[in-house]
Amino acid sequence: MRRTLCLALLAAATPTAALGQTAKKEPPPMLTTAAVQSREAVFKRTPQGDLVMHLYLPPDWKASDRRPAIIFFFGGGWSGGSHVQFIPQARYLASRGLVAACADYRIASKHKTTPDVCVEDAKSAIRWLRGKAPELGIDPDKVIASGGSAGGHLAAATALVPGFDAATDDRKISCKPNALVLFNPALNLEGRSMKGADGSDVAKAISPTLFLDQTLPPTIIFFGTADRLLPQGEEFLTKAKTLGRRVELWTAADMPHSFFNRSPWLEVTTRKMDEFLAGLGYLSGSPTVALPAGAGELKKVD
């Protein structure tokens, strides 16, 4: 029952293409009208199918650049979802100068896989992005992992959870991001029953909070105060502070899970994400996303 509730709270593949080809189907831009470049590439071949990296590049991008990069993992309870969830944020950050990517990963509804496999695929995605740095104009020491709900869990897991490395990965390339941007993530799955690929319970083994240590990179987290997962964010913040790590937790009053997917909170959280990344030196200048009239405010949890 508890696992069902977790999945309910957390609750597309696209044709593959060569790196140099433009993605054919995208929703209309919501946060920017800039003519960013878009491309797709297979980053991992699995028994259940190929996984695609959906890339968004700045208008003035060139392969010789050394730009910060951000990779987004979609939400959907490790069972559903699609990379299109974060296309608005990816396009916006590309317009601001970052190389942005939305990664596929295997999910239960399509691939009949388990959450530990999702963690493996997320680590593979970051390693692929770093490994392609010379081709993608990326600074491999400025890679940001982001995602919402189950995707936020995956982003945090790449930074903290040990193991779950694909046999085909180049382990010499780090899967650990240099910063985290987490939208209502699942962070502590302890106490839930979550079967892994081998049939064992993996809930504790893939819980980022249980592995918090001095390696945690700078992190920003967004939650609605009506989200039942908020206590996990508060627990994460408290433990990270005791370790002296930089973590910001921002809340939206009375908002439910996945509030950030809709206007005006899409714009509000994107602007705060921009300010956070600028504070790390990954962006310059003021945010360009416009806030709708009457947009609410985020409150920082101390």
User: Which of 151, 124, 129 has its CA nearest to residue 142?
Assistant: 129
Residue 26 lies in a domain: no
- Whether residue 190 is contained in a domain is answered as yes
Q: Is residue 11 part of a domain?
A: no
pLDDT attached to residue 194: 95
d(CA 121, CA 103): 9
| Total tally of structural domains belonging to the chain | 1
User: Is residue 78 in some structural domain?
Assistant: yes
Domain assignment present for residue 8? The answer is: no
**Residue 160 belongs to some domain of the structure:** yes
Which range marks the domain in which residue 278 is found? Answer: 32-301
pLDDT digits (tens, 9 = 90+) for 142-200: 999 999 999 999 999 999 999 999 999 999 999 999 999 999 999 999 999 999 999 99
pLDDT, tens only, 12-64 = 333 333 343 433 444 444 798 888 999 999 999 999 999 999 999 999 999 99
The verdict on residue 12 lying in a domain is no
Name beta bridge partners: 45: 50
Positive or negative, the CA dihedral 223, 229, 233, 235 is positive
pTM confidence score:
0.91
H helix runs in 105-175, sequence order: 108-111, 115-131, 133-136, 150-160
Q: 91: closest CA among 82, 77, 101, 83?
A: 101
CATH number at residue 42: 3.40.50.1820
Residue 20 resides in a domain: no
